[in-house]
Structure 1
């Protein structure tokens, strides 16, 4: 059975090849920084989480051998366009801006963006509520794009990974953060996260796009195969079986 069977490491724009890895294998880029429940790296260096299992199922459905290439978030698209990886499976939203550079598969999930702030804060989804405040976002994300487009009165602080801005929110160095509603849940359910709550959903399809898809190089012949694989795991029950332990709602979205 075909699946994701090896781990590679990519850093600073370079790719370290592991002996025995064939170029026929599909190289899938992912940032190993924690992004629960979608992906995380265990103490032993193994990738785990809902999105990891979905990627494995897609590879099985395509009948392809796949390998993970660990790459910092802001290096994923450059790695794709420079042929260091063949696909991105890392909660990357399908947006018009990104589609100027890369292609996407059909979506495989869609959850709303939210603004999170201390429980006693007057922050809301209204842009006026964050004027003069410090708002944290992960760099090179749709959440950063939303703040830049709609919350011009706020001071934007950018972070390399998701956990960093959550820690600054807890520590009082930020007034609010914007992120994916599901990815925020582990923080909000933690001891530190008891400080805070979701203050509102954020909507702008021109910024957030129709959902999350697999990032691909322009003209990649993987697009049709991945779209067929996503349709297959949706129709044969694999998608729902993987999702059931993680979510109490339809992660695929409307």
Structure 2
């Protein structure tokens, strides 16, 4: 009898464990019932997410996240500060419901989490010091060091396409530009906007060279299998693209010369062409 009871207890525990593992997220209905959606961002990567003068989360991704929550009929957003390195694992362990912070839906990430419709895009370039006469494009990067933010799609792209370079990773996306300015790295792989922003804010002697290396989309990420949330977020973003909300937020937080929708279309075309 004790043996039978032991097996039954073990079976129940194992069954509960598998059940929890199979549903390690909050569905859209559960999020609505709770009245709050947990959305992760770095809060240290302007203009996408940062802390404003009131020490509140702000930026393009933050504004988009708030509007998505509104269109999902969820009254409260709880922003969770985390890093690119932790975003995927944070979703898998139900630390938050969404990630909205310039996160690219790479093939590797898509194996582990799901993505909704893209709402952002960036062009990526090589940045060098102003006194560097050796590097004019990615073709001149062999044997040189390049800085990237760890855990980002920049790092993945660099490791795939810049195999002849010494890739140095940084957890702080701003520090990498300071190291470039003082010569600790020879180049930095960054979005054009991000690199120019750090250059102008800190008066750094750096600039972009060559043509855009790639376009990278950003999209909301959620736990694998959370179809109700994914579909609702996609519907919200598609509506925001159609009614001009995406372009309006891009103009507000990034600049009127930043054509978000045109860039998203170009990135999708690049993906379709298999580049």
Report the equivalent of 1:123: 135
1:161 Cα deviation from its structure 2 partner: 1.9
> TM-score scaled to structure 2, two decimals?
0.77
2:191 to 180, 186, 204: 180
Report the equivalent of 2:24: none
> TM-score scaled to structure 1, two decimals?
0.82
Q: Output aligned runs, 1:148-163, within 5 Å.
A: 148-163=159-174
Report the equivalent of 1:212: 218
* Structure 2, unaligned runs of 5 or more: 1-32, 266-275
Runs of 4+ in 1 over 6 A off after TM superposition: none
The structure that has the greater radius of gyration is 2
Question: Deviation string for 1:128-174 (max 9, x for gaps)?
Answer: x1222121000011111122112122111100021010111112111
1:112 Cα deviation from its structure 2 partner: 1.3
Counting matched residue pairs gives: 226
Q: Distance in 1 between matches of 2:52 and 2:248?
A: 22
Q: Does 1:251 align with 2:257?
A: no
Q: Distance in 1 between matches of 2:128 and 2:213?
A: 18
Report the equivalent of 2:22: none
Report the equivalent of 1:45: 55
1:24 Cα deviation from its structure 2 partner: 4.5
Report the equivalent of 1:164: 175
Question: Deviation string for 1:35-63 (max 9, x for gaps)?
Answer: 12212113542111122111111111222
* Structure 1, unaligned runs of 5 or more: 1-21
Most deviating of 154-163 and 116-125: 116-125
**Structure number with higher relative contact order (C-alpha < 8 Å, ≥ 6 residues apart):** 1
